Amino acid sequence: MRRKPLGDCKIEEIVSQSRKPQVVLVGRPNVGKSTLFNRLSGARHSIVTAIAGTTRDVITHPVAWGRSHFDLTDTGGLFGHSEDPLHELVVARGHRALKQADLIVFVVDGREGLIPGDQDIAEAVRSAGVPAILAINKTDDRRARAGALELYRMGFDPVFEISAEHGQNVGELLDAIVEKIAGSPGSSEPEPGETDESEEPVDPGAKEVAIAIVGRPNAGKSSLVNRLLREERMIVSEVPGTTRDSVDSILTWHRRQFRIVDTAGIRRPGRVSKSGQVESVSVLLAKRAIERADVVVLVIDATVGPTDQDGAIAGAAQEAGRGIIIAANKWDLMKEQGQDAAKKFDENLRYQLKFLDFAPILHISAVTGERTPKLLEMVDKVSAAARSRVGTGELNRFIEKITTSAPPVTAGHRNVRVMYASQTSVAPPTFVLFTNTVAKLHFSYERFLQNRLREAYGFFGNPIRIQMRGRTDERGERRKTASERAPDRQAPVKKGPGSPPTRRAREKAAYKAARKAGLKPPARSWDKPGATRGGKPRETGGDKPRETGGDKPRETGGDKPLGLSRTTPPKKARKVEKRRPKRAGRR
């Protein structure tokens, strides 16, 4: 399709074609909007509980039904009773979503019937001036049959009696949505080869980068997302734990597309379990966002400094193998501490989070926007480094050079040689070392290899994984160790205080005791024919007779039996002279 010149296009046409049709779900708190949102989007993106006012932020997710595409938006409860202290902010976000809607799906509870809160929302829907569909939810309950008749009096057409939890009549509702937005621009699937000149061009070779903004509560994560998106998308307040859902937002920056995920603050497991179901599900969604992300931005409150919980969150990101960037937020409040504040803060951070020595540190301020553009540059750099590869030949020459100068150190094996090395995967970069035996590298040597690889090939901001594989024999079995090949060989006994005597020591002691008592000594094991000592046969001189000193008979010491030596006479006791005691006064 030939592109039209930009001068021939109207600005209104460009703005209208730059997005898909917006379908907004509105209703009172706890009528089933989040359940219907999860049913239509095909995934559990929104938290569903029996507590009124669970949803706070506006959550948007693309939906495809047939050849039609639209963006489905879930909002918080309007004009109803809610125990949420931020209900006024939620209502303001809901009214803003109504103004941007192309179609409104008004969700009501069939079991409760028509109540004043529904009538107030109906007036707001009519004043929006867009098509609307009435969806009576929870009609699978018998109690909803009588209440559903009252809801028809509000005058909306069409009306669908559905059950979001069980999926009843949800397909008919989707058909009605597609029919209503059929004439809207961007609703149909584009033809092959057709391009939209209104959208910002995106590099076709670049992959979408998922960014997870994580951290402790009230660290400034939602403010940072709003600053990056340049709009008040997320609800921001001083109350810790404002964000509950993991909200995705698309951002195009320098022909690269980023999916920014704002997550709930993660507290210690003990406090989360005591707070209730809502926070438990919020933390679970935040951990899932870490696993799905390509780069994790750990937001730390600069006024508080790094804590143990920050280390736990960073450890989860490292175990998941994600690239990590540390963003010290609220840096505008740290300027009063002097010029050396950044240096002292970084030294303390490196000391507290020693395992994140590869992660870059940025000092930003989400309120003033200080250094926030550099965050996207850093994310792009970390994402590119995670997908870099090292050639097999170059890697083997590098490993050979390193292991020659510093041989591998293992826990219980000696002479471990690296025979071959290869990079098996990226994101995170994973290397496999094939060795001559099954062994595990010492953690210090593994860290040494990681530092050398990072110095030589970069891998900026990404953890490096090193795996070991021992050599196997032709039969595919593990190579046996020396003790397994010779199980009969006696291991050397270490002598020390309190250790039991060896067999040779016991025989020597018995032999000496017999000689001292004048008895026949027992036969020793090394005196027997064919006995070995130290693994070698005892030398006897072959067939040569034992030298006895010629024809001279061997001295036997008189009538003493052969084999006993002549005893030596006892030494005479020395006479001890008794000194005379000195008399008093005698010199």
| Model confidence at 552: pLDDT above 70 | no
Kindly state the tokens that stand for 357.
Answer: 């020595």
Strands (E) located in 263-349: 295-301, 323-329
Range with lowest mean pLDDT among 180-194, 279-293, 395-409: 180-194
What's the mean per-residue pLDDT of the chain? 79
**442 SS3 class:** coil
| Model confidence at 550: pLDDT above 50 | no
Range with lowest mean pLDDT among 23-27, 402-406, 572-576: 572-576
**DSSP strand pairing (418-425 vs 209-215):** unpaired
CB 399 within 8 A of CB 418: yes
Q: Are residues 372 and 404 in the same domain?
A: no
Q: Is the residue at 245 inside a domain? A: yes
Kindly state the tokens that stand for 25.
Answer: 């779900």
Q: Are residues 377 and 398 in the same domain?
A: no
CB 25 within 8 A of CB 97: no
Give the largest Cα separation in the chain, rounded.
Answer: 141
3-state helix/strand/coil string of 362-412 = EECECCCCECHHHHHHHHHHHHHHHCCCCCHHHHHHHHHHHHHHCCCCECC
pLDDT in tens, 103-124: 999 999 888 888 888 888 888 8
Alpha-carbon distance 10 to 6, whole Å?
A: 8
**DSSP strand pairing (256-262 vs 209-215):** parallel
Kindly state the tokens that stand for 258.
Answer: 């980023």
| pLDDT for 416 | 82
Kindly state the tokens that stand for 112.
Answer: 């409760």
Residue-wise DSSP of 110-171: TTT-S-HHHHHHHHHHHHHTS-EEEEEE-TTSTTHHHHHHHHGGG--SSEEE-BTTTTBTHH
Q: Are residues 301 and 351 in the same domain?
A: yes
Kindly state the tokens that stand for 560.
Answer: 């003493």
Mean pLDDT of 434-459: 87
CB 40 within 8 A of CB 63: yes
| pLDDT for 1 | 39
User: What DSSP state is assigned to residue 569?
Assistant: P
% of the chain residues with pLDDT over 70: 75
Mean pLDDT of 175-198: 65
CB 332 within 8 A of CB 367: yes
| pLDDT for 398 | 92
| pLDDT for 3 | 40
Q: Are residues 357 and 258 in the same domain?
A: yes
Q: Are residues 126 and 273 in the same domain?
A: no
**Percent helix, strand and coil across the chain, each rounded to 5?**
35, 20, 50
| pLDDT for 187 | 59
> Total structural domains in the chain?
3
* Burial per residue of 74-84, b for 16 or more beta-carbon CB atoms within 10 angstroms, e otherwise: bbbbbbbebeb
Q: Are residues 331 and 356 in the same domain?
A: yes
Q: Which amino acid is at 258?
A: F
| Model confidence at 533: pLDDT above 60 | no
Closest by CA position to 239, among listed 88, 363, 95: 88
| pLDDT for 529 | 66
Q: Are residues 217 and 270 in the same domain?
A: yes
* Band of pLDDT at residue 80, cut at 50, 70 and 90: low
CB 298 within 8 A of CB 326: yes
Q: Is the residue at 257 inside a domain? A: yes
Please classify residue 109 by burial: count the beta carbons closer than 10 Å to its beta carbon, then call 0-12 exposed, 13-18 middle and 19+ buried.
buried
| Model confidence at 47: pLDDT above 90 | no
| Model confidence at 454: pLDDT above 70 | yes
Tell me the torsion sign for CA atoms 39, 44, 46, 48.
positive
Range with lowest mean pLDDT among 329-343, 485-499, 562-576: 562-576
Alpha-carbon distance 259 to 210, whole Å?
A: 5
Which among 421, 445, 470 is the end of a domain? 470
Alpha-carbon distance 195 to 76, whole Å?
A: 36
Q: Are residues 276 and 356 in the same domain?
A: yes
Which among 386, 408, 423 is the end of a domain? 386
| pLDDT for 326 | 94
Q: Is the residue at 509 inside a domain? A: no
Mean pLDDT of 481-509: 72
| pLDDT for 213 | 93
CATH number of the structural domain spanning residue 325: 3.40.50.300
% of the chain residues with pLDDT over 90: 24
* Band of pLDDT at residue 563, cut at 50, 70 and 90: very low
Q: Are residues 396 and 382 in the same domain?
A: no
Range with lowest mean pLDDT among 60-64, 339-343, 583-587: 583-587
Range with lowest mean pLDDT among 197-211, 351-365, 498-512, 557-571: 557-571
CB 482 within 8 A of CB 492: no
Q: Is the residue at 426 inside a domain? A: yes
| pLDDT for 7 | 39
Q: pLDDT: is 442 or 476 the higher one?
A: 442
Range with lowest mean pLDDT among 238-242, 336-340, 390-394, 440-444: 238-242
| pLDDT for 140 | 84
* Band of pLDDT at residue 312, cut at 50, 70 and 90: very high
Q: Is the residue at 518 inside a domain? A: no
User: What DSSP state is assigned to residue 457?
Assistant: H
Q: pLDDT: is 61 or 568 the higher one?
A: 61
pLDDT in tens, 509-531: 898 899 888 888 888 877 766 65
| Model confidence at 131: pLDDT above 60 | yes
Residue-wise DSSP of 41-60: HTS--S---SSTT---S-EE
Mean pLDDT of 331-344: 85
User: What DSSP state is assigned to residue 328?
Assistant: E
| Residues forming beta bridges with residue 94, ordered by sequence position | none
Tell me the torsion sign for CA atoms 237, 248, 68, 176.
negative
Q: Is the residue at 513 inside a domain? A: no
CATH number of the structural domain spanning residue 435: 3.30.300.20
Mean pLDDT of 72-81: 75
* Band of pLDDT at residue 478, cut at 50, 70 and 90: low
Q: Are residues 223 and 365 in the same domain?
A: yes
Q: Which residues contact 10 (CB under 8 A, 6 or more apart)?
A: none
Which among 470, 498, 530 is the end of a domain? 470
Q: pLDDT: is 355 or 502 the higher one?
A: 355
3-state helix/strand/coil string of 266-282 = CCCHHHHHHHCHHHHHH
Tell me the torsion sign for CA atoms 431, 432, 434, 440.
positive
Q: pLDDT: is 183 or 274 the higher one?
A: 274
Mean pLDDT of 125-140: 89
pLDDT in tens, 10-28: 333 333 334 688 999 998 8
Q: pLDDT: is 491 or 297 the higher one?
A: 297
Q: Which helix H or strand E contains 259, and what residues bound it?
A: strand 256-262
Q: Is the residue at 269 inside a domain? A: yes
**304 SS3 class:** coil
Closest by CA position to 52, among listed 69, 27, 72: 27
| Model confidence at 549: pLDDT above 60 | no
Q: Are residues 348 and 224 in the same domain?
A: yes
Alpha-carbon distance 137 to 30, whole Å?
A: 11
Q: Is the residue at 92 inside a domain? A: yes
| Model confidence at 306: pLDDT above 70 | yes
Mean pLDDT of 547-566: 48
| pLDDT for 317 | 92
| pLDDT for 198 | 42
Residue ranges making up the domain that contains 439: 392-470
Q: Are residues 311 and 326 in the same domain?
A: yes
Q: Where are the alpha helices (DSSP H) in 293-329?
A: 308-319
